[in-house]
Structure 1
Amino acid sequence: MVTERRKPRLIPVMDVMGGVVVRAIAGRREGYQPIVSTLTRATDPLGVAAALLQATGVSELYVADLDAITGRGQLSPVVRNLLAESTGPVWLDAGFGPRHDILDLPASPHLRPVVGFETCRTPDFLRDFAYSPGPQVLGFSIDMRAGELIGNWRQWGVQDKQDAIGIARVAVSLAVRTLIVLDLARVGTGTGCGTEPLLHALRSEFPNVELIAGGGVRTWDDIDRLGEAGADGVLVASALHDGTITFPRSS
């Protein structure tokens, strides 16, 4: 099957830790520092979000609440404020897992919860989340580091920590219609995603599932390659703050 070439939408990303937006590099969270950006001097989520949306002209954001993901707290107050102020879709990864009440989410028509494989220990929780009351749009993040799954992969019925396709099959069987492919080893490195072969395979097997990819995007050419691989959306952070991806796109 030939993968249809797509023109993916760009989705700005904010990683929030300790109440500020930080620069994520290769998933080494202990070393993350407040963002330094060509777009704004702000580091608070509302200020950075405003700068990203103004610079890109989009209305969609992806937010990772790192304190919640790592178990250092519940949903950050600054992230709650961002959701309250948002006027467009916000994909939110806040470490949703068995220790979190799936209904204890802010009431926002713009909320798009992301359940990450890293913190979702078994398919049972994803099943409960997918069929629970609340937001109808749910994303599932296939979290990897250097091509290997980060999480309790054995509990998902796969035999290999590189079997991302197997994890995707389980998620799609549980009514997930948005898959997010993220290799943390690439995040913030500007070395490209490196997940194009996986995206090709996912697009071939799941032609009607939305695919979003991220990690390592530096240029518009990187975005084009991900579109050719089947991505509908591309997560971008560092390249926007560093100015290697700008709007409007230059020819």
Structure 2
Amino acid sequence: MISNGCWLDAATREKIVAVVDVKSGFAVHAIAGNRQAYQPIAIGGQTAGDPFTLVAHYRRRGIRSLYIADLDSIVLGQPQIELLERLIRAHSDLDEILIDIGLPELETVASWLEFVQKNRNVVVIVASECAPRAASLQHFKGSLDFSQVALGMDYRQGNFLGGDDSESDWMNHAQQLRIERVVALDVAAVGTSRGPSIAGTCSRIRRHLPDVKLYSGGGIRDDSDVKLLLDAGCDHCLVATALLDP
């Protein structure tokens, strides 16, 4: 693990989106996509797994954007609505909060989506790994404007996870809907501190979607890894492990 975030200069910090994975109310450390084995994160002797402590830790680093993955919703279809609302309310001054809740039944999140509409810094991700086809990008249509919807392009060891449709199908559909943000992640790389393996994929997405805001991460250790992804066409990098030491 990288020590104490000393690699974060001002320019790099502006490009970082700090990651919060929440499972059963706890902030957990994601490693290699093995979600059953994720364990609560302890920061500086504080209560392990408190997501508010984790976000406060990130904010002390000067981070202004968050990516929150609701693993209960992604895996079980059971969104942690109350926790998500509390996190958004507590950090409504942040530049951006990206939230991945998979594709829950709309009736279970209807009131929450109304809440999201009123918080324009919140963006909800449609994750390809949870979807049967690219048309699922319209899952929140009628509940959210597409300016508050992002495409999550998910991979495992380089293989695209997108149901029955190809990577190109998803990107074409995103272009048709004028989706403004794309988040590309290889779940096998997250939390490994081995360096990002997705730079080539990011370059391919950038060529296909030249106008989107592109986010990626997984395995980032320091500013050189951030630069690698920025050079590949990313606008922002998702980071957790390299920020965790007190």
**Would you say same fold, with TM above 0.5?**
yes
Q: TM-score, normalised by structure 2?
A: 0.83
Q: 1:39 Cα deviation (Å)?
A: 8.9
Task: Note if contact 1:14-1:22 (Cα within 8 Å) is conserved in structure 2.
Answer: yes
CA deviation profile, 1:56-84 (whole Å, cap 9, x unmatched) = x1221100010111115223422221122
Q: 1:128 Cα deviation (Å)?
A: 4.4
Give the alignment partner of residue 197 of structure 1, picking from 185, 196, 200: 200
> What is the distance in 2 between the residues matched to 1:30 and 1:72?
15
Q: Which moved more, 1:195-204 or 1:6-15?
A: 6-15
Identify unmatched segments of 5+ residues in structure 2. Answer: 1-10
Q: 1:38 Cα deviation (Å)?
A: 4.9
CA deviation profile, 1:77-127 (whole Å, cap 9, x unmatched) = 222211222222211001124x33464425141321011011122333312
Q: Which moved more, 1:198-207 or 1:137-146?
A: 198-207
- 1:183 aligns to 2:213 (yes or no): no
Closer, same or farther in 2 for the Cα pair 1:207/1:38, shift >3 Å?
farther
* Other-structure match for 1:24: 30
Task: Note if contact 1:38-1:241 (Cα within 8 Å) is conserved in structure 2.
Answer: no
Amino acid at match of 2:84: V
CA deviation profile, 1:33-54 (whole Å, cap 9, x unmatched) = 0013359555211221111112
Task: Note if contact 1:39-1:52 (Cα within 8 Å) is conserved in structure 2.
Answer: no
Closer, same or farther in 2 for the Cα pair 1:65/1:208, shift >3 Å?
same
Q: Which moved more, 1:217-226 or 1:117-126?
A: 117-126
SS of equivalent residue, structure 1 residue 180? strand
SS of equivalent residue, structure 1 residue 185? coil
Give the alignment partner of residue 91 of structure 1, picking from 74, 98, 110: 98
* Other-structure match for 1:248: none
Counting aligned pairs with the same residue, the percent is: 29
Amino acid at match of 2:90: E
Closer, same or farther in 2 for the Cα pair 1:182/1:76, shift >3 Å?
same
> What is the distance in 1 between the residues matched to 2:19 and 2:177?
26
Closer, same or farther in 2 for the Cα pair 1:114/1:123, shift >3 Å?
same
Amino acid at match of 1:134: L
- 1:53 aligns to 2:59 (yes or no): yes
Structural RMSD (CA):
2.3
Structure holding more helix per residue: 2
Please list, as runs of the form range in 1=range in 2, the aligned pairs for 1:9-158 lying within 5 A after superposition: 9-38=15-44, 43-55=49-61, 57-71=62-76, 73-86=78-91, 87-88=93-94, 89-97=96-104, 99-101=105-107, 103-106=110-113, 107-108=115-116, 109=119, 110-129=121-140, 131-134=141-144, 136-152=147-163, 154=164, 156=165, 158=166
Amino acid at match of 1:111: V
Q: Number of residues paired by the alignment?
A: 227
Q: Which moved more, 1:26-35 or 1:165-174?
A: 165-174
Amino acid at match of 1:24: A
SS of equivalent residue, structure 1 residue 96? coil
CA deviation profile, 1:194-238 (whole Å, cap 9, x unmatched) = 111111122122221111001111111000000100100100001
* Other-structure match for 2:5: none
Please list, as runs of the form range in 1=range in 2, the aligned pairs for 1:198-217 lying within 5 A after superposition: 198-217=201-220
Identify unmatched segments of 5+ residues in structure 1. Answer: 1-5, 159-163, 244-251
> What is the distance in 2 between the residues matched to 1:179 and 1:72?
22
CA deviation profile, 1:102-160 (whole Å, cap 9, x unmatched) = 6442514132101101112233331242x4243532111111110112341x2x2x3xx
Q: 1:12 Cα deviation (Å)?
A: 0.3
Q: TM-score, normalised by structure 1?
A: 0.82
